[in-house]
């Protein structure tokens, strides 16, 4: 739960008046351009830095200086740079963190964490000898050690190959099923769309929060994409006379974007109207806007983004 | 959440493991005083049986001074790396995201440097005692080296001087933005206590058990006070972002937006241990 949280560094505002809440077990995506304040927000919620104003609670604990260690006991943060000791082995790195979380059954937890990220075979390797993708997976294993209630993942699939990316995505889905709240900062919008229950778009101020399909509907009118073999004769008559059509525009020589309130119900009427008008209909499909379209629409319209 | 020896132990084990993987760190720490000891050792071995007592005292004093250089100066270089080095290699932020308190982190790092520094000092001291018994031609030299106050001073001062040097080094490391600057400043700042040791070594103050104990007590208090100051200097926010928590949290005088006017208690990791 974040309530009007603001962080300033002198004259520079990292983020301002940010409010949102994340439910337990939710995968919450945090998107925004470089310098939008995403990492600073994560660091603030992770008690690494103090906000200038506002309040928040993390894992049900109010974010105060006194509660810092208690919050950190119940969360895990995986920064974009995993920050591992390159002269120590994978196991030794994890042993340090198991010790810091005072895990009683540290060896078993380390074994489980390594298995979860498919790294058991590399447990004895020096971290300095691992590729970036493998280091990222060690960082993830470290984040799993304390069985956190809230996990902050900053670009967890950065530098990973497609197979490893899929494994990490499966891991995030597994965490959701175990009731772990995941706060996912990413630039991979298709990943956010696939994984996140809700996303927030931050650009110093919070621009939008919601489910990806909600955001699409909020920003884009629903439409049908009509493709015909030849240009429709008198398309104005055809489209405007069809009930439920709000507006239309041509897209190319024989394609049309038709804005409608209810694509599923209007599509059959429109098909009949087009056939009746002598048009050879190739396809009629609902136009889908990706999360990337939503993101770009918001960021392009944002004067602050263009100044970065 | 209270101070945890478990977390301190985890930091200490990590430090010692890193030394084990990089033997040059400790090796060079031992090599330098060994080289410095060659000249005073040759001097005391060449002291003939008829040489005056004050000459013997002076030579033995010089040897002790060199012996105490090892724990007083050399750990400062490693201690000065401790925090700023973690920051530079990107390992500090993950550490600070755990429940680790700043006292546990700093004490773990300090003990991690004390152990090899004092170990080296004691080994060198034992080596000199053995060499003196085997090769010194003047019995007064052996006797002076084996004096109670000298042995007591070595046993007490080695960890306490190392403690001072390490606290200074870590203190500088928490505020420095460059490893090289931190290491140079750390070495310079660990010199003052050596001045007092020099006065004792050269018999400006007559060495005695009482003097050794009193000076050790003063050093112990100074070490504790210095460690508390270093803990207070440790500012998570500055270390992570380069900006002081106090400065960045105080706002910039602008009126916050509606809904953000509520000032909150200091939160985050800046003063929570």
Quickly count: other Cβ atoms within 10 Å of residue A159's Cβ.
16
Confidence of residue A207 (pLDDT cuts 50, 70, 90): confident
**Residue A214 exposed, middle or buried by CB count within 10 Å (0-12, 13-18, 19+):** middle
From chain B, the residues in CB contact with A81 under 8 A are: 90
Is B171 inside any structural domain?
A: yes
Is B34 inside any structural domain?
A: yes
| pTM of the predicted structure, to 2 decimals | 0.79
Do B228 and B266 have their domain in common?
no
Is B200 inside any structural domain?
A: yes
With a cut of 70, say whether residue A305 has pLDDT above it.
no
Do B189 and B252 have their domain in common?
no
Write the residue in B17, B91, B266 that is nearest to A84 by C-beta.
B91
With a cut of 50, say whether residue B263 has pLDDT above it.
no
From chain B, the residues in CB contact with A101 under 8 A are: 98-99
Confidence of residue B200 (pLDDT cuts 50, 70, 90): low
Average pLDDT of span A282-305: 74
pLDDT for A15: 92
Judged by CB atoms closer than 8 Å, whether chains meet at A53 and B251 is answered as yes
Using a pLDDT cut of 90, give the percent of chain B over it: 25
Is B25 inside any structural domain?
A: yes
Do B225 and B249 have their domain in common?
no
Residue of chain B whose alpha carbon sits nearest to that of A63: B267
Using a CB–CB cutoff of 8 Å, tell me whether B100 touches chain A. Answer: yes
The whole-angstrom separation of Cα A108 and Cα A277 is: 71
Judged by CB atoms closer than 8 Å, whether chains meet at B270 and A102 is answered as no
Do B223 and B251 have their domain in common?
no
Unique residue bearing structure tokens 């038709």: A258
With a cut of 80, say whether residue A266 has pLDDT above it.
yes
Question: Considering chain A, what is the average pLDDT of its residues?
Answer: 88
Report the run of H or E that residue B176 belongs to, with start and end.
none
The whole-angstrom separation of Cα B159 and Cα B167 is: 12
Tokens of B61: 């004093």
Edge-first strand listing for the sheet containing A27-31 = A75-78, A150-154, A181-185, A27-31, A198-203, A205-210
Confidence of residue B64 (pLDDT cuts 50, 70, 90): confident
Do B55 and B142 have their domain in common?
yes
Do B268 and B182 have their domain in common?
no
Average pLDDT of span A201-219: 81
Do B12 and B139 have their domain in common?
yes
Confidence of residue A110 (pLDDT cuts 50, 70, 90): very high
From chain B, the residues in CB contact with A11 under 8 A are: 252
Question: Considering chain B, what is the average pLDDT of its residues?
Answer: 81
Longest alpha-carbon distance in chain A = 77
Q: What is the pLDDT of residues A153-181, one digit of tens each?
A: 998 887 778 888 888 888 899 889 889 99
Q: What is the pLDDT of residues B25-57, one digit of tens each?
A: 888 878 888 888 888 888 888 887 777 877 887
Phi, psi of B47 (to 5 degrees): -70, 120
- Residue range of the domain that includes B263: 244-273
Q: How distant is the Cα of B213 from the closest Cα of chain A, in angstroms?
A: 37
Tokens of A117: 């990220």
Confidence of residue A84 (pLDDT cuts 50, 70, 90): very high
Lowest mean pLDDT segment, chosen from A52-56, A109-113, A205-209, A220-224: A220-224
Shortest CA distance to A185 belongs to which of A259, A79, A99? A79
Edge-first strand listing for the sheet containing A223-228 = A245-250, A255-260, A223-228, A281-286
Confidence of residue A77 (pLDDT cuts 50, 70, 90): very high
With a cut of 50, say whether residue B260 has pLDDT above it.
no
Do B207 and B229 have their domain in common?
yes
Residue of chain A whose alpha carbon sits nearest to that of B94: A83
pLDDT for B265: 39
Average pLDDT of span A77-96: 93
Using a CB–CB cutoff of 8 Å, tell me whether B148 touches chain A. Answer: no
The whole-angstrom separation of Cα A192 and Cα A212 is: 9
Contact criterion met (CB below 8 Å) for A171 and A94: no
With a cut of 60, say whether residue A60 has pLDDT above it.
yes
Judged by CB atoms closer than 8 Å, whether chains meet at A52 and B21 is answered as no
Shortest CA distance to B172 belongs to which of B237, B96, B82, B248? B82
Residue of chain A whose alpha carbon sits nearest to that of B273: A69
Is B239 inside any structural domain?
A: no
Confidence of residue A33 (pLDDT cuts 50, 70, 90): confident
pLDDT for B272: 52
Shortest CA distance to A122 belongs to which of A78, A167, A92? A92
Q: How distant is the Cα of B186 from the closest Cα of chain A, in angstroms?
A: 24
Quickly count: other Cβ atoms within 10 Å of residue A154's Cβ.
21
Is B148 inside any structural domain?
A: yes
Domain count, chain B: 2
The whole-angstrom separation of Cα A106 and Cα A111 is: 9
With a cut of 90, say whether residue A262 has pLDDT above it.
no
List all residues of chain B from 184 to 243 with a beta carbon under 8 Å from chain A. Answer: 236-237, 240-241, 243
Using a CB–CB cutoff of 8 Å, tell me whether A304 touches chain B. Answer: no
DSSP H helices in A4-47: 38-45
Is B173 inside any structural domain?
A: yes
Q: How distant is the Cα of A103 from the closest Cα of chain B, in angstroms?
A: 10
Q: How far is CA B186 from the centre of its chain?
A: 9
From chain A, the residues in CB contact with B92 under 8 A are: 83
With a cut of 50, say whether residue B255 has pLDDT above it.
no
Q: What share of chain B is helix, strand, coil (3-state, %, to 5)?
A: 75, 0, 25
List all residues of chain B from 17 to 46 with a beta carbon under 8 Å from chain A. Answer: 17-18, 21-22
Interface test with A, best of B20, B82, B99 (most A CBs within 10 A): B99
Highest mean pLDDT among A194-208, B93-107, B135-149: B93-107
pLDDT for B254: 34
Do B258 and B180 have their domain in common?
no
From chain B, the residues in CB contact with A110 under 8 A are: none
From chain A, the residues in CB contact with B260 under 8 A are: 4-6, 16-17, 53-54
Write the residue in A9, A69, A102 that is nearest to B243 by C-beta.
A9
| ipTM of this complex | 0.79
pLDDT for B245: 57
Do B209 and B256 have their domain in common?
no
Is B149 inside any structural domain?
A: yes
Judged by CB atoms closer than 8 Å, whether chains meet at A52 and B22 is answered as no
Q: What is the pLDDT of residues B102-150, one digit of tens each?
A: 999 999 999 999 998 899 889 988 888 888 888 887 888 888 888 887 7
Residue of chain B whose alpha carbon sits nearest to that of A2: B260
Judged by CB atoms closer than 8 Å, whether chains meet at B252 and A8 is answered as yes
Do B69 and B131 have their domain in common?
yes
Do B63 and B184 have their domain in common?
yes
Judged by CB atoms closer than 8 Å, whether chains meet at B270 and A51 is answered as no
Residue of chain A whose alpha carbon sits nearest to that of B249: A52
């Amino acid at each position: 739960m974040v309530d009007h949280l603001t962080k300033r560094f002198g004259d520079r505002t990292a983020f301002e008046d940010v409010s949102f809440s994340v439910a337990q077990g939710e995968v919450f995506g945090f998107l925004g351009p470089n310098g939008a304040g995403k990492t600073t927000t994560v660091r603030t919620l992770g008690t690494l830095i103090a906000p200038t104003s506002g309040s928040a609670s993390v894992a049900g604990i109010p974010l105060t200086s006194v509660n810092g260690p208690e919050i950190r006991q119940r969360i895990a943060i995986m920064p974009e740079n995993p920050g591992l000791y390159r002269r120590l082995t994978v196991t030794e790195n994890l042993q340090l963190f198991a010790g810091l979380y005072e895990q009683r059954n540290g060896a078993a937890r380390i074994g489980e964490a390594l298995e979860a990220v498919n790294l058991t075979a590399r447990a004895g390797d020096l971290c300095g000898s691992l590729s970036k993708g493998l280091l990222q997976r060690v960082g993830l294993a470290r984040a799993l050690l304390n069985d956190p209630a809230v996990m902050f993942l900053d670009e967890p699939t950065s530098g990973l190959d497609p197979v490893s990316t899929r494994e990490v995505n499966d891991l995030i889905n597994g965490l959701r099923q175990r009731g772990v709240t995941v706060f996912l900062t990413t630039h991979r919008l298709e990943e956010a769309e696939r994984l996140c229950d809700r996303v927030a778009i931050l650009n110093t101020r919070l621009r939008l929060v919601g489910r990806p399909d909600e955001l699409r509907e909020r920003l884009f009118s629903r439409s049908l994409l009509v493709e015909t073999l030849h240009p429709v004769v008198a398309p104005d008559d055809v489209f405007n006379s069809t009930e439920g059509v709000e507006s239309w525009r041509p897209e190319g020589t024989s394609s049309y974007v038709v804005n409608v309130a209810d694509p599923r119900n209007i599509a059959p009427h429109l098909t009949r109207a087009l056939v009746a008008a002598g048009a050879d209909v190739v396809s009629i499909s609902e136009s889908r806007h990706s999360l990337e379209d939503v993101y770009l629409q918001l960021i392009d319209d944002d004067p602050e983004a263009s100044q970065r | 959440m209270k101070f945890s020896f478990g977390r301190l132990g985890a930091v200490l084990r990590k430090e010692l493991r890193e030394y084990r993987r990089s033997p040059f760190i400790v090796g060079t720490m031992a090599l330098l005083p060994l080289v410095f000891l060659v000249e005073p050792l040759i001097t005391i071995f060449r002291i003939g049986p008829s040489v005056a007592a004050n000459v013997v005292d002076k030579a033995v004093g010089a040897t002790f001074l060199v012996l105490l250089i090892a724990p007083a100066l050399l750990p400062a270089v490693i201690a000065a790396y401790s925090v700023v080095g973690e920051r530079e290699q990107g390992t500090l932020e993950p550490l600070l995201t755990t429940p680790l308190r700043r006292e546990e982190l700093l004490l773990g790092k300090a003990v991690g440097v004390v152990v090899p520094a004092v170990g080296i000092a004691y080994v060198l001291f034992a080596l000199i005692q053995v060499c003196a018994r085997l090769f010194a031609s003047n019995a007064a030299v052996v006797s002076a080296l084996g004096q109670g106050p000298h042995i007591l001073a070595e046993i007490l001062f080695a960890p306490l001087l190392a403690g001072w040097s390490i606290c200074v080094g870590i203190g500088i490391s928490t505020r420095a933005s460059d490893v090289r600057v931190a290491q140079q400043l750390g070495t310079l700042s660990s010199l003052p206590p050596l001045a007092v040791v020099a006065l004792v070594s050269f018999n400006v103050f007559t060495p005695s058990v009482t003097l050794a104990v009193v000076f050790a007590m003063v050093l112990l208090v100074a070490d504790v006070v210095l460690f508390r100051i270093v803990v207070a200097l440790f500012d998570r926010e500055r270390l992570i972002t380069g900006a002081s928590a106090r400065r960045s949290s105080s706002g910039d005088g602008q009126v916050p937006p509606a809904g953000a006017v509520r000032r909150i208690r200091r939160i985050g990791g800046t003063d929570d241990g």
